[in-house]
Structure 1
Amino acid sequence: ATNEKSKNNACSFNIANEDGQPYDNNKDMSNYCNEYFANIGIKMANNIKIPDDFSSQIPPINNSLFLTPVTENEIILQINSLKKNSAPGMDAITAELIKSSHKQIVQPITHIINLIFATGIVPSQFKSSIITPVFKNGDNTRISNYRPISLINNFGKIFEKCLKTRLVSFLKNNNILSPHQFGFLEGKSTEDAMYEVVKEITDNLDSSRKCAAVFLDLAKAFDTVPHDKLLNVLHSYGIRGNVLKLFTSYLTDRMQYVRVNNCLSDPQEVKIGVPQGTVLGPILFIIYLNSLLFLNTSGKILSYADDTVVIFSGDTWDTVKEQMERGITAIKIWLDGHQLSLNAGKTKYIAFSITSKNRPNYDRINIERFSMVINEVYSIKYLGIVIDKNIKWEQHINKLTVNTRKLIFRFYQEIF
């Protein structure tokens, strides 16, 4: 499915304007796409009212991150880690060229990155990106149904890899990240996240407790992260002084272009969000989301990046309902305070039971404070797996069977 989506991205599509009319030239279309991607996060964030009772206090840690200088050996390792066939950024310098000339360029790259670490100033060339719109689903003429993926230059990737190594090491050594976050971290995967979700549900069922899980849907979560709030979070977590200056430089004055049908748009400044497709973007997002996973609710919050599940349990279904309504209210306050948008229409919950007996007598929960209704579903796709209300995996097995038959049919056609 991923390969099919990739074929339908910026290479050959025709986006319509706001009136539904197609563009007659690629330049206008690419400029429209770029304006949309650069401004959608600002529009969404501005529509979120920060609750009066929201508290953004994160207990600050005592330790601070200091950046050790990079060595030539480290730079060689990072050069070798570049994917040979990855698309280049604005400078058009390929990873293959960098790999083949690493002996000649390792010394100046080492010097430049150490200079960035020392001054806290990121070169503008490292902050320019080409956006490739990747189709998600729905109407393929609507730009809102595309995900912006950034292509940065390969020297910028090397810099970001070096910085990420030091940042992640600091976060781990100081036990800053929640153990319930499974996204974009070495040694953790979607399988680990799925295992914890299923284990939490089955443990409750085995203990004869009523159990329900709310699957949150955050709308364009990466795009609406305000830079000032992210920098405040980083400061609380020990990113201070010259290192905070570096991250401030990294996030500000970012310029992006959109390429559609091999046509490059005019540049747009990106004033909000963490860039998708970069090395640092995902880790910055999970840092921003981190305090949500420590939120005092009656449920257990588990996340793979922004794919978040909240599991509630109790002795009765009425207790579970009260916990869900109270817990989701607290989560909505946190999300609004961080200017992240909860998509109520796509947020669903499942009430789990081994048999069809003793089911709850309600099929929705009301978040009265926000005039929001969250509806029950009997199954949902989470991290590629279909979870059903009885944890019997029948729907997931059926899905795998259908997909396998399709693959066999394709192979049969190609062979014969």
Structure 2
Amino acid sequence: MMVFLAGISSPIDTPLVSSIQLSIDKEFFSSSEVDATLRSFDEKASPGHYGITVKQLKTIPPSTLALIANNWLAYGCIPLELKQCSAVFIPKCPKRDFRPITFSPVLLRLFSKLVLSSLAEGNTFHKYKSGFSDDRSTSSNILILQALMHLTKKSQRPLFAVSLDLRKAFDSVSHEAILRLSKPMVSYFFLIHSKVSKV
């Protein structure tokens, strides 16, 4: 496995950006951040295309993994080998359609989680956003709505709420809306999702 890691530690892919600064105060990952992030991974999780499991990844010193992640960050690109993902089609209910689930290699998942944690620390996300957040979920927004309903009922003031449910929302995301994202978030999407292939 160390031979595999040595081969992917220095990306040879063309960098999309010269470097990525995730937040104002921080540019690189520490060994302790890598260790804490890796400990949060379920050892039974799918290993992805290369078959390297979470358990195997945990045998590598966090300092080595931090060096690899920081190298990718400095280059602004990830080796193409790690962007080969396995796709599995899960039947929806009723079983007339399928939902694709893609499993990326564990090392890429580790890097992605490190980047997202750093983006969250840099206040890149809106405080009421639920996605990509460890301490919020969709139920958090429901609780906020319930509290607002209670307060307006108690104060006998009107409350207007609008709910918008987009069919196939993921397929119809506006490119203009994506371009209005913060620069660190756009850099993250380019870094992780460019030239991804499914096998």
Q: Place the TM-score, normalised by the shorter chain, in its bin.
A: 0.7 to 0.9
Aligned to 2:6: none
1:68 Cα deviation after fit:
2.1
Q: Quick check: 1:65 aligned with 2:20?
A: no
Q: 1:254 to 1:155 in 2, by over 3 A?
A: same
Deviation at 1:220, TM superposition (A): 2.7
Q: For residues 225 and 91 of structure 1, what CA distance do their matches in structure 2 show?
A: 31
Aligned-pair distance for 1:87? 0.8
Which ranges in structure 2 are unaligned for 5 or more consecutive residues? Answer: 1-20
1:130-145 residue pairs with structure 2 within 5 A? 130-138=86-94, 140-143=95-98
**Residues 192-238 of structure 1: per-residue CA shift (max 9 Å, x gap):** 222111122232233334445433212233344466752x223xx24
Q: Distance in 2 between matches of 1:88 and 1:220?
A: 29
2:83 is aligned with 1:127: yes
> Normalized against structure 1, the TM-score is what?
0.38
Q: Look up the match of 2:69.
A: 113
Larger radius of gyration: 1
Match of 2:193 among 209, 232, 251: 251
Distance 1:227 1:65 in 2: 24
Mapped contact 2:22–2:115 kept (Cα < 8 A): no
Asked whether the equivalents of residues 227 and 251 of structure 1 are also in contact (C-alpha less than 8 Å), the reply is no
SS in 2 for 1:130: strand
Structure ranking higher in strand proportion: 1
Contact 1:122 1:249 in 2 (8 A): yes
Q: Residues 98, 142 of structure 1: CA spacing in aligned structure 2 closer, same or farther, 3 A cutoff?
A: same
Letter in 1 for 2:152: N
Aligned residues of 1:75 and 1:109 also touching (Cα < 8 A):
yes
Is 1:65–1:238's contact at 8 Å kept on the other side of the alignment? Answer: no
Residue aligning to 2:184: 239
**CA distance 1:131–1:223, shift in 2 (3 Å):** farther
- Structure 1 pair 108–208 and aligned structure 2 pair: CA distance change class (3 A): closer
**Conserved in 2, the CA contact under 8 Å of 1:91 and 1:153?**
yes
**Could you say what secondary structure the match of 2:180 adopts?**
helix
Residue of structure 1 equivalent to 2:104: 152
Residues 210/126 of structure 1: CA separation in 2 closer, same or farther (3 Å cut): same
Q: Which piece of structure 1 moves more, 82-91 or 196-205?
A: 196-205
- State the number of aligned residues: 178
Partner of residue 205 from structure 1, selected from 153, 156, 162:
153
In the TM superposition, residue 95 of structure 1 has moved relative to its aligned partner by 1.0
Distance 2:132 2:111 in 1: 18
User: Please, which runs of 5 or more residues in structure 1 have no aligned partner?
Assistant: 1-62, 258-416
1:275-316 per-residue CA deviation (whole Å, 9 max, x = no partner) reads xxxxxxxxxxxxxxxxxxxxxxxxxxxxxxxxxxxxxxxxxx
Alignment match, 2:125: 177
Match of 1:214 in 2: 162
Listed one character per residue, the Cα deviations across residues 129-151 of structure 1 (whole Å, up to 9, x for unaligned) are 2223334433x1333xx2x2221
DSSP-derived class of the 2:65 partner = helix
Matched with 1:83 is 42
TM-score, normalization by structure 2: 0.73
- Secondary structure of the 2:85 match is strand
Which of 122, 125, 140 in structure 2 is aligned with 1:192?
140
- Show the 5 A alignment for 1:401-412: none
- Amino acid in structure 2 at the alignment position of 1:167: L
Candidates 114, 135, 145, aligned match of 1:162: 114
- 1:133 to 1:113, Cα distance in 2 relative to 1, 3 A: same
Measured on the aligned residues, the alpha-carbon RMSD in Å equals 2.9
1:372-411 pair list within 5 angstroms: none
* 2: CA distance, partners of 1:72 / 1:132: 33
SS state at 2:163 partner = strand
* Letter paired with 2:197: M
Could you tell me how far apart the structure 2 residues matched to 1:136 and 1:204 are? Answer: 39
Contact 1:64–1:238 (8 Å) recurs in 2: no
Asked if the contact 2:49/2:86 (under 8 Å) is kept, the reply is yes
Q: Provide the rounded CA distance (Å) in 2 between the counterparts of 1:253 and 1:159.
A: 17
Q: Is the 8 A contact 1:129 1:153 kept in 2?
A: yes
AA aligned to 2:52 is I
For 2:153 and 2:109, locate their aligned partners in 1 and report how far apart those are by CA, in whole Å.
Answer: 46
